[in-house]
């Protein structure tokens, strides 16, 4: 049976070049990078190089990158770190964060947790494409706002937010701007200086690197309180002995992302556009997210009168791996908060399927999926009580 992976937003296969770079750090170069002896010094050199590779991808400086355990931890360190640093901003309304209604749970749940501790959070609404309004952002700013955290690109519908405009507003108001760029890294060129980004979260396993490692860019001058205490690693913001195989893997993955971004995005976008064009031939089928301002690899469809879960299972039977949303929420029955925010009803929210492409997908796979998917939808509609009503 065919085995086709079209769920690259959930994770990616580790690149062969990344594996080759990592392997010596399990045995040959096993030292602790903070040890002063030769074993440590060799590994410290690799630690510095990885930091540089990540910084290069973002046009940042090496000493503005800290290593974390992944995107979730980066988001937590940035948001809670800024919150605890500003907890005494007790104006009439209390210290205040601005975020969006469609963030990943790594941001949303962190903000909800902070609300329980007395922090105020404004969840900006989005339009039908999933884009925040700059006017709303501007109006939400108060003298107690100490952080704006808005994702670069959405993990479900692929919509890219107006990051440059958000950065401009943040800078004009002297408020640090954090963005969760976990889905955007390697797909969109990012220059933290041109975009006025003060903190940015990345995760290795979305860019053909290993799981369980990530990084946080923190602009020089941004002050955070640590949320993990210990030996003081990573400027005291993320204590714990460095995960060197992971760090080397993330560095290599960033180097490759920079080198291949142009070629990869062109190739993947071409496949994705074909997939969208073919799939929209099916009657009463809609594309969720913005038609142009979206990640090059994301196709997110709604099919009237069929359950996304049933389509997913049908595709799985044919060897095609897809998702109905984010991997984290796919086990839950609740309608996706992202789809609710763009105005879909609960029934509509349950009629979606997300296909996210990657480097290894082929034209032949797109043709296969374009044939199989409409067949599955048609079969399901024949037995759907909602079809034809």
Q: Whole-number minimum distance, CB 207 to ligand PLP, in Å?
A: 11
Residue nearer to ligand PLP on the CB measure, 250 or 376: 250
User: Is 328 among the catalytic positions?
Assistant: yes
Q: Is 180 in the site for ligand PLP (CB under 6 A)?
A: yes
Candidates 155, 297, 310, 323; binder of ligand PLP (CB under 6 A) is 155
Evaluate the CA torsion angle 340, 11, 271, 371 in order and state its sign: negative
Q: Whole-number minimum distance, CB 353 to ligand PLP, in Å?
A: 17
Candidates 214, 226, 289, 314; binder of ligand PLP (CB under 6 A) is 214
Number of residues that bind ligand PLP (CB under 6 A): 14
Candidates 182, 190, 296, 335; binder of ligand PLP (CB under 6 A) is 182
Range in contact with ligand PLP (rule: CB under 6 A) among 65-73, 112-120, 126-134, 304-312: 65-73
Among 328, 347, 367, 386, the active-site one is 328
Q: Is 203 in the site for ligand PLP (CB under 6 A)?
A: yes
Q: Whole-number minimum distance, CB 211 to ligand PLP, in Å?
A: 7
Site string for ligand PLP, 83-122 (x = CB under 6 A): ---------------------x-x----------------
Q: Is 70 in the site for ligand PLP (CB under 6 A)?
A: yes
Q: Whole-number minimum distance, CB 56 to ligand PLP, in Å?
A: 21
Q: How many whole angstroms separate alpha carbon 267 and alpha carbon 265?
A: 5
Q: Whole-number minimum distance, CB 326 to ligand PLP, in Å?
A: 6
Range in contact with ligand PLP (rule: CB under 6 A) among 44-52, 69-77, 256-264, 347-355: 69-77
Q: Whole-number minimum distance, CB 182 to ligand PLP, in Å?
A: 4
Q: Is 336 in the site for ligand PLP (CB under 6 A)?
A: no
Report the catalytic residues: 328
Instruction: Give residues in contact with ligand PLP (CB under 6 A).
Output: 70-72, 104, 106, 151, 155, 180, 182-183, 203, 205, 214, 326
């Amino acid at each position: 049976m065919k085995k086709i992976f079209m769920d690259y937003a959930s994770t990616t296969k580790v690149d062969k070049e990344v594996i080759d770079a990592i392997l010596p750090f399990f045995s040959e170069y096993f030292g602790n990078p903070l040890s002063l002896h030769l074993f440590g010094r060799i590994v410290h050199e690799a630690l510095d190089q990885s930091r540089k590779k990540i910084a290069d991808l973002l046009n940042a400086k090496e000493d503005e990158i800290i290593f974390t355990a992944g995107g979730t931890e980066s988001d937590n360190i940035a948001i809670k770190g800024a919150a605890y640093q500003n907890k005494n901003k007790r104006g009439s309304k209390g210290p205040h964060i601005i975020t969006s209604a469609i963030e990943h749970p790594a941001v949303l749940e962190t903000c909800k947790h902070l609300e329980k501790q007395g922090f105020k959070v404004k969840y900006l609404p989005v339009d039908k494409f999933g884009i925040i309004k700059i006017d709303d952002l501007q109006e939400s700013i108060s003298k107690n706002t100490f952080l704006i955290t808005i994702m670069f690109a959405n993990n479900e519908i692929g919509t890219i937010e107006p990051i440059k405009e958000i950065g401009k507003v943040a800078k004009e108001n002297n408020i640090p701007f954090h963005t969760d760029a976990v889905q955007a890294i390697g797909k969109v060129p990012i220059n933290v200086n041109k975009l006025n980004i003060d903190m940015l979260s990345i995760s290795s396993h979305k860019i053909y690197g290993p799981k369980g490692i990530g990084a946080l860019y923190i602009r020089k001058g941004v002050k955070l309180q640590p949320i993990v205490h210990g030996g003081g690693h990573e400027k005291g913001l993320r204590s714990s002995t460095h995960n060197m195989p992971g760090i080397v893997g993330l560095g290599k993955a960033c180097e490759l992302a920079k080198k291949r971004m142009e070629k990869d995005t062109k190739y993947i976008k071409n496949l994705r556009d074909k997939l969208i064009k073919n799939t929209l031939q099916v009657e009463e089928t809609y594309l969720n997210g913005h038609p142009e301002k979206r990640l090059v690899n994301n196709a997110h469809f709604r099919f009237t009168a069929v359950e996304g879960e049933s389509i997913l299972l049908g595709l799985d039977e044919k060897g095609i791996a897809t998702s109905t949303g984010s991997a984290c929420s796919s086990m839950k029955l609740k309608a996706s908060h992202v789809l609710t925010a763009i105005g879909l009803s609960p029934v509509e929210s349950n009629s979606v399927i997300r296909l996210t492409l990657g480097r290894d997908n082929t034209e032949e796979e797109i043709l296969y999926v374009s044939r199989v998917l409409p067949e599955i939808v048609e079969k399901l509609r024949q037995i759907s009580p909602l079809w034809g009503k």
